[in-house]
Chains A and B, each alone.
Chain A
Amino acid sequence: MVDAPRPGSWTVGTVSSTHPETPSGRSIWIDVPGWPGNIAGQHVDVRLTAPDGYQASRSYSLASSGPEPRLQLAVDKLPDGEVSPYLVDEIQPGDMLELRGPLGGWFVWKEEQTAPVQLVAGGSGVVPLVAMIRAHAASGSTAAMQLLYSVRSPEDRFFADELGALDNVTYAYTRSGPTDAVIGRLTKERLEAAVLPVGASVFVCGPTGFVEAVASWLVDLGHDAGLIKTERFGGA
């Protein structure tokens, strides 16, 4: 595996392909020559520049990890957003954008971490956790790792085929889902039933409110706050 490289300055990436993931989200692969490699869980800053020089930057997690200079992002569109609608609806192969990273040395999973791992995702918060699932599988690690994925409906699942082929993923549908499933926002009780027992290392990622709720329930359930790592994507 790679060590955390220093993020440095902006570098240009070229979109190589895109793939719809959900009705409102898609994956984007970006070639970044000279990419120093990244650890599962890290993110990049993406900067867009309009013809008049106006710039907007946002952070996006990487679904990819390791030395490959081809990065995978997966972006969910906020209807009134500035950057995410462009990335989901507009950008095409061949387009260039600027990136800086990899960023974040805390919300990461490395194969030398041997504790059992519980991942908890809300919506597009699954992106850095998928990087961890992939890195875990590639490393042959024997540490247990499982994912609880809270998402509006089955159609809204990112990486649906890939995760669907795994047996260590539990879904919590908040709006609609299979008739035999419990539908509705996650509760402390459902969380407790779905996660690994106290002692596991836990990664929680998603909208800020989701992360706040899950992290405080975990502490209530007896999980050590020092073993819970969180990444908040923003919003309420």
Chain B
Amino acid sequence: MSIFTRGFSGRGRENNPALPPGQYLTEDFPVLSAGPTPNIHLDSWQFTITTETGVVHKWSWDELMALPSEDIHTDIHCVTRWSKLGTTWRGVSLDTLFEGVETDYNYVMEHSYGGYTTNAPYEDLRDGKAWIAHTFEGKPLDPEHGGPARLLVPHLYFWKSAKWITGLTMMKNDDPGFWEQNGYHIYGDPWKEQRYW
């Protein structure tokens, strides 16, 4: 059921087909995170992929930067209702990082510096759908926005694009991460408005 709110007319009609339901356009780049911004040094930075056999694939910052990076032009949608259209990132495709990884598991837990986690299906991170992003609009990614590197999975709500990414762990089941245990949706499709459970 929907009701009218007396006297409310709203500002602009954002009749923009690029905007998922319930989102509004912003020119800023707001911040969503649950705790302080961690202070991460590039010389100790590392990114790992851990599989069910306990094998750990590991990259240092220099090793990551030695891999081919791609330009990514994409819209991003935050669960707190802002969307930003036409953003430009640079990052390493997860397809590249998963090349030598053998796994039969279908789910992934994303781990961040600072301890936060969020879950995603493996297939959502493959086939050109996800990157380790290190550059935003031509500049090194700000710590506030997840730098030195964050996951970028733009087809899901932006909390799935874990800031300060440090590792992925393969999971047998779709176990909820930190955000999902705190009320956010297990999958988070902005076009279906999967904000909260």
Of the listed residues B30, B31, B39, B81, the one surrounded by the most CB atoms of chain A closer than 10 A to its CB is B31
Using Cβ atoms and an 8 Å threshold, which residues of chain A touch B32?
Answer: 232
Considering the chains assembled together, what is the distance between the CA atoms of A51 and B36 in angstroms?
42
Which residues on A sit within 8 Å (CB–CB) of B1? 10, 12
One of A51, A53, A55, A97 near B22 (C-beta < 8 A): A55
Tally of chain B residues near chain A (CB < 8 A): 35
A228 at the binding interface (Cβ < 8 Å): yes
In Å, the complex CA distance between A57 and B2 comes to 13
* Segment 12-42 of B: residues with Cβ below 8 Å from A: 13, 22, 24, 28, 30-39
* Chain A binding surface SS class: mixed
Contact pick for B10, options A48, A90, A232, CB 8 Å: A48
* Per-position binary interface string of chain A over residues 29-60, scored 1 when its CB falls under 8 Å from any chain B CB and 0 otherwise: 00000000000000000001111011111110
Complex-state Cα separation, A232 to B36, whole angstroms: 11
Give the residue of A6, A59, A97, A234 whose beta carbon is less than 8 angstroms from that of B5.
A97
Judged by a CB distance under 8 angstroms, whether A91 is at the interface is: yes
B6, B32, B36 — most chain A CB neighbours (10 Å): B36
* Complex Cα–Cα for A187 and B81 (A): 31
User: Across the interface, which residues of A come within 8 angstroms of B144, CB to CB?
Assistant: 212
Given contacts A7-B183, A230-B36, A232-B32, contact A98 B2 (CB under 8 A): yes
In the complex, A92 Cα to B169 Cα: how many Å? 52
B183→A103 contact, CB < 8 A: yes
Residues of B bordering A, CB below 8 Å = 1-11, 13, 22, 24, 28, 30-39, 80-81, 114-115, 144, 181-183, 196-197
Q: List 11 A-B contacts (CB under 8 A).
A: A49-B2, A49-B8, A50-B5, A55-B2, A59-B81, A103-B196, A105-B182, A106-B34, A212-B144, A225-B35, A230-B33
A96-B6, A216-B36 known; 11 new pairs, CB 8 Å cut-off, are A4-B183, A7-B183, A7-B196, A49-B5, A50-B10, A51-B9, A55-B2, A91-B7, A98-B2, A106-B182, A235-B30
